[in-house]
Amino acid sequence: MIRVTVIDDNIEICAHIESCLHQFELKYNQEIEVEPYTSSDAFLQAIQQNHEVYDLIFLDVELDQKSGIDLANYIRYEKKDELQQIVFISGKSSYSLSLHDVHPLDFLIKPFSEIDLERVMTRYLKISGRWTDSFFYQQGGDTIKIKVSEIWYFSVLNKEVMMHTNSGIVSFHGSLQEIDKQLRKDSFLYIHRSYLVNPEYVKIFEYDQVTLYDDTVLPIGSSRRVDICKKRMEWQNARKGKRHI
């Protein structure tokens, strides 16, 4: 469970962030609880009197009674809390350089998109250690770890999963549905009931099939084609975003 709070006097901003986080939750198989506050006083009461603690705080710089900078200073210097991650949000980019003393995770300029929120959440998961770049599987009673970047694709036959990697093929008992839940955050594409593919190894995307860099051709199930096309575009946009970070 990731506890998130949004402090912004504009209720529409709170609702927008909450909606984006819900989409992230579904896409990456995460569990996120969001608590919005529309005033600095309400947030202060929650952390002072109710002792609320959040994993991630989306904090508007320009609030009513106390500014977002005041709240961040309270968290960092009076509570001496460096663990709660702070993401400042503002309509003015001029603030960004003056906020480094409170060690924010990020700074978002309004208006921001779902992709912007996804980038922030991905960064938070990596920094907090909740996002691992490894895949774990069971074989012969042992738990084995492999880097996700070494996996090309998974195929399945009669409940036996074949994991195709840089080093060869590894087989183990399992289901693609469970593997998909684990690797959804890594953008693996569930192109067919028998195939789960790492898009990093796809050379050519076509409507009904993909071709990998070793010229392996895998079919895209007819019922999955529209969804795969959409996810491919999301993956490509995310890659473009990473290049500009």
Residue 244 has a pLDDT of 45
| Mean pLDDT to the nearest integer, 204-229 | 94
| Mean pLDDT to the nearest integer, 141-156 | 92
Residue 245 has a pLDDT of 44
Both tokens of 66, joined, read 């106390």
pLDDT of residue 243 exceeding 60, the answer is no
Residues whose CB falls within 8 Å of the CB of residue 231, separated by 6 or more in sequence, listed in order: 187, 189
Q: Lay out the sheet containing 202-205: strands in order across.
A: 202-205, 209-212, 217-219
Q: What angle do CA 125, 75, 123 make, to 5 degrees?
A: 15
Residue 171 has a pLDDT of 94
Residue with tokens 């990473």: 242
* Residue 111: cis peptide before it, omega within 30 degrees of 0: yes
User: Which amino acid, one-letter code, is at 117?
Assistant: L
Calpha distance 115→41 (Å, rounded):
30
pLDDT in tens, 50-93: 999 999 999 999 887 789 999 999 999 999 999 999 999 998 87
DSSP secondary-structure letter at 51?
-
User: How far is the CA of 111 from the CAs of 97, 101, 107, 108, in angstroms?
Assistant: 19, 24, 12, 8
pLDDT in tens, 185-202: 777 899 999 999 999 999
Both tokens of 52, joined, read 């609320």
> From start to end of the chain, where are the E strands?
2-7, 32-37, 56-60, 85-90, 106-109, 134-139, 142-147, 151-157, 160-165, 168-173, 189-192, 195-197, 202-205, 209-212, 217-219
User: How far is the CA of 166 from the CAs of 23, 107, 150, 184, 235, in angstroms?
Assistant: 32, 38, 6, 20, 22
Percentage of the chain exceeding pLDDT 90: 65
Between 135 and 19, the higher pLDDT residue: 19
Residue 37 has a pLDDT of 96
What is the residue-averaged pLDDT of the chain? Answer: 89
Residue 112 has a pLDDT of 93
Residue 16 has a pLDDT of 97
| Mean pLDDT to the nearest integer, 110-137 | 88
For the ranges 35-49, 92-106, 179-193, which has the lowest average pLDDT? 92-106
